[in-house]
Amino acid sequence: MNRKWTTDMEAYLIVGRTVDKTPYKLLTVRLNKKFNSKMKVHDLQQKAFKLGITKPVIKKVRTYFKPSQEQINFVHAMVLNGYNTEKIQDAYFEQFDFRPNPSQIANTLSKKNTLQNTTVEQPVIVNESSHKPWHSDSATRKQCRCIVGLTSDLAGSAKSKAVKDMYESKEYSKLEAMKIIQDNEDKLNAWKKEQGYSAPTRKDAAKVSQMPKKDMPNVHFRWSKEEDMLLFNFKQEHPRGNAFPIMEGRTNRAVRERWYRIRNNINAVSEPKTTIETSLAQVEECLKPNVAETMWTKEDDFDILCNFYEYSIDEARNRFNIPYQFIAGRLETLIDSTEPNHIEMLMEATKTIKARRKQEAEDAKNGFWKRRKLRKMAKREAKKERRIEYRLQRLEDMFSKRQAKLDKKVAKAEERLKKLRGE
């Protein structure tokens, strides 16, 4: 193998790069295989550069955009006619054989035009229509709700259904809905003026906010009696649902809260006041124990005598389901009682408590390992007892099954005998 270039190799390189346009990597493999050489990719690239068959590097020459007055007027006229940037670029390219970028167009628009001074009339389109693009859109859900509230007395689910139907049917556009709402509000305001209603408006509130601080405390936007009566009469006519009147200068939330306040005041006045004597009587009635809950059984009495001081207050309440003071009172009654039954029960409880304390003392004397051994022995004994009980239960089940089978066989034998005897 050699790495020297021959004329045949150079010719093969020129044809492969210029005619066939073979990549350098593939051309290197083919050239080494054909001429039994050991060339690398960069060797072919260097040779191609020396032979002058590589593509020349074209350096971009920066051109400065300096539009003439005619070009400035042309761009201004296109903008006045309502064309966007892409259309301006296409028209500029057709007219002046150059496609400006958006920044060049913006730079051109920043310069003054002479369209008014030229004698040539430029086609300028002016949109004289006052119709805005959102006027033709369908009315919003909020507008539909306002129209239903102003033009009907519906409330609750019926109002929601009407609003939904109006919104889905697209009956009104935004402009039409706005006009309907405005006309109905004007009628409502005229009716309020006839009724003698007057309330501070938003303009008045804006004036108050601009007033000096020293004068602001003297101005109050409180609810007047006329407003309260108007709200009260409206709710008397519409007792059901969440219908509320539209009041000038008051939001729907303010009207609702005012109505709740009026209603609560009416209910508070109608309710009679309770005296101290009636309150004390109610407290005593609550403190009286229920007879059914305080009926003590013999087991309960014995439990109290043995474990009263072992229980906590909560445990005693949960155990007997009565207040703690009655449990303590029952213990005192049993201790101070002179009845024979109570005295015998007290003696039995004393023996039980003594045996328990004795066992606790013995357990305390034993060490850890001895107590552990006793626990294990107790577990073994308990396990043996469970096994014996299990085996006895199994034997009883087996015996009962066998007895049942024998009973069936005896019954069948008796039936056959009766048949043989002809009975």
Q: Which residue has the tokens 């389109």?
A: 125
Residue 132 lies in a domain: no
Given this model, what pLDDT does residue 422 score?
80
Burial class (CB in 10 A: 0-12, 13-18, 19+), 44: buried
How many structural domains are present in the chain?
5
- 105 with 154, same domain? no
Residue 2 lies in a domain: no
Q: What is the mean pLDDT of each run of 10 residues along the chain (423 residues)?
A: 79 86 89 89 88 63 73 88 85 86 86 66 41 73 83 78 85 84 73 56 49 46 80 79 76 84 69 55 54 68 88 87 88 88 89 87 80 89 93 92 91 88 79
Contacts of 139 by beta carbon, 8 Å cutoff, 6+ apart: 147, 166, 167, 170, 171, 172, 173, 174, 176, 177
Reduce the DSSP state of residue 72 to 3 states and report it: helix
Q: Residue 248 belongs to what domain range?
A: 141-270
Given this model, what pLDDT does residue 7 score?
87
Given this model, what pLDDT does residue 202 score?
46
Contacts of 25 by beta carbon, 8 Å cutoff, 6+ apart: 41
**107-137: pLDDT as tens digits:** 888 888 887 644 444 443 334 344 566 677 8
- 355 with 372, same domain? no
Amino acid 176 reads E
Residue 279 lies in a domain: no
Amino acid 32 reads N
Residue 189 lies in a domain: yes
Given this model, what pLDDT does residue 227 score?
84
Residue 169 lies in a domain: yes
Contacts of 319 by beta carbon, 8 Å cutoff, 6+ apart: 303, 311
- 361 with 377, same domain? no
pTM above 0.85, yes or no: no
Residue 61 lies in a domain: no
Reduce the DSSP state of residue 278 to 3 states and report it: helix
Given this model, what pLDDT does residue 268 score?
55
Cα radius of gyration (the chain) = 54
Give the dihedral of Cα atoms 130, 134, 135, 139; nearest 10 deg: -170
Q: List the structure tokens of 272.
A: 């009679």
Given this model, what pLDDT does residue 131 score?
52
Distance, in Å, from the CA atom of 291 to the CA atom of 327, rounded to the nearest integer, reads: 14
Given this model, what pLDDT does residue 391 score?
92
- 149 with 181, same domain? yes
Residue 263 lies in a domain: yes
